[in-house]
Amino acid sequence: MAQGQVLAFEEYVRTRQDALLRSARRLVPDPFDAQDLLQTALVRTYRRWEGIADKSLADAYLRRVMINTRTEWWRAKKLDEVPTDEVPEAPVDDPTEQYADRALLVDVLNVLTPRQRRVVVLRHWEQMSTEETAAALGMTVGTVKSALHRALARLRRELEARALEAGALEREERERCAA
């Protein structure tokens, strides 16, 4: 690889490593595994860096490499099964609350306009800077800031309204049970 390409890759990694690590953390639960996943993906991407014609798509390329790598690891994982006469009791985590929170988040995001939703997702989910968000959406920085401000205000109002509604329903249920 040419020296200029090596420097371009190093600069890319330096500027995007935090966002890429966050993406890796979403793919694997263990932070050390996430670091390993990112490093493996970076090595694989480095080998193909010259072939990526549009460097603005490098994040998407790297995320795809991380997903494929995680899938390879999952398939290669050896199952440690030990035959026994009795099945051991294993604690089971209840993910119900996590799914409820995620469902609420998705539902609440639907009250936003598509532009506001894109701004919120890029700024707070992908944790892009205001400038990166503006560049990704083809907007000015001021437009991103105002759209984000309005969107967050709308989300707060919606969540407050839903909390009040849930409280009223809970009071009605208690009164009905007490009667």
Closest CA to 95 of 160, 29, 19: 29
Q: Is 23 exposed, middle or buried (0-12, 13-18, 19+ CB in 10 A)?
A: buried
For position 89, what pLDDT does the model report? 79
Report CA 110 to chain centroid distance, whole Å: 17
pLDDT of 38 strictly over 90? yes
Type of residue at 126 = E
CB 148 within 8 A of CB 123: yes
The residue ranking higher by pLDDT, 67 or 80, is 67
Locate 135 and state its tokens: 């560049």
Task: Look at 27 and 97; give whichever has higher pLDDT.
Answer: 27
* pLDDT range class, residue 126, cuts 50, 70, 90: confident
State the residue for tokens 């409820």.
100
pLDDT in tens, 136-162: 999 999 999 999 999 999 999 998 988
pLDDT tens, position by position, 78-100: 666 667 788 777 777 777 777 77
In this predicted model, what pLDDT tens digit does every residue of 100-122 receive, in sequence order? 777 888 888 899 999 999 999 89
Q: Give the mean pLDDT of the chain.
A: 87
Domain boundaries, the chain: 3-75, 97-178
How many alpha carbons fall within 13 Å on the CB side of residue 113?
A: 8
53-71 in b/e form (b: 16+ CB < 10 A) is eeeeebbebbbebbeebbe
Which of 2-6, 45-49, 129-133, 150-154 has the least mean pLDDT?
2-6
CATH of 3-75, one of 1.10.10, 1.10.8, 1.10.1740, 1.10.287: 1.10.1740
Q: What distance in Å separates the CA atoms of residue 21 and residue 37, rounded to the nearest whole number?
A: 9
Domains 3-75 and 97-178 share a fold: no
Q: How far apart are CA 108 and CA 141, in angstroms?
A: 25
CATH of 97-178, one of 1.10.10.10, 1.20.1060.10, 3.40.50.300, 3.40.50.2300: 1.10.10.10
CB atoms within 10 A of CB 3: 7
- Give residue 147's pLDDT: 95
